[in-house]
Each structure stands twice: as C-alpha cells, then as structure tokens.
C-alpha cells in the first residue's frame, strides 16, 4: 500500500480532491457505491465521489501478482 498511496493527511486530501463543498450533495444515500462524476458548485468544478475511482486497480493487481 505504501508503494502506491501517499497516506499523509495532506496527500490524501489532494488525492481525493476533498477541499470542495460537495458534502451536502454527496451525503444523501451513503458515501459509497456511487460512480464519480464532475460537479460544479459556484465557480468550482471537481469530481464528486472521488474516493470511488478505480484508477489504481490494475496497478495494485499487478503488484499483488493477480
């Protein structure tokens, strides 16, 4: 895990793009099991449900020998 993810608090905040006002909209019906999508609030556009991305799946499978 350490080889693939920077788990320092600031790095997690950046990786998941958490500094946007999306939580009122994303809190309904649970935080998990949604597809990420682009969302605009005010003048900011960002990815909602960024923690649901699977972009590292292939890399992690390869590292695990799967």
Per-residue pLDDT at 30: 67
CA dihedral 22, 28, 30, 36 (to 10 degrees): -40
d(CA 21, CA 42): 9
Work out the average pLDDT over 18-47.
Answer: 79
**Alpha carbon 30 to chain centroid, angstroms:** 15
Per-residue pLDDT at 35: 85
Statement: residue 15 has pLDDT above 80: yes
∠ CA 40-41-44, nearest 5°, is 70
State the DSSP H helix or E strand holding residue 24, giving kind and residue range, or none if neither: helix 23-26
Work out the average pLDDT over 23-46.
Answer: 79
Every domain of the chain and the residues it spans: 9-64
**Residue 61: band (very low, low, confident or very high) from pLDDT cuts 50, 70, 90:** very high
Statement: residue 22 has pLDDT above 90: no
Topology, domain 9-64: GMP Synthetase; Chain A, domain 3 (3.30.300)
């Amino acid at each position: 895990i350490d080889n693939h993810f920077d788990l320092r608090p600031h790095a997690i905040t950046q990786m998941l793009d958490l500094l946007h006002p999306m939580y009122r909209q994303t809190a309904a019906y649970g935080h998990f099991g949604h597809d990420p999508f682009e969302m605009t609030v005010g003048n900011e556009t960002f990815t909602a449900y960024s923690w649901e991305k699977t972009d590292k799946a292939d890399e992690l499978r390869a590292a695990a020998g799967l």
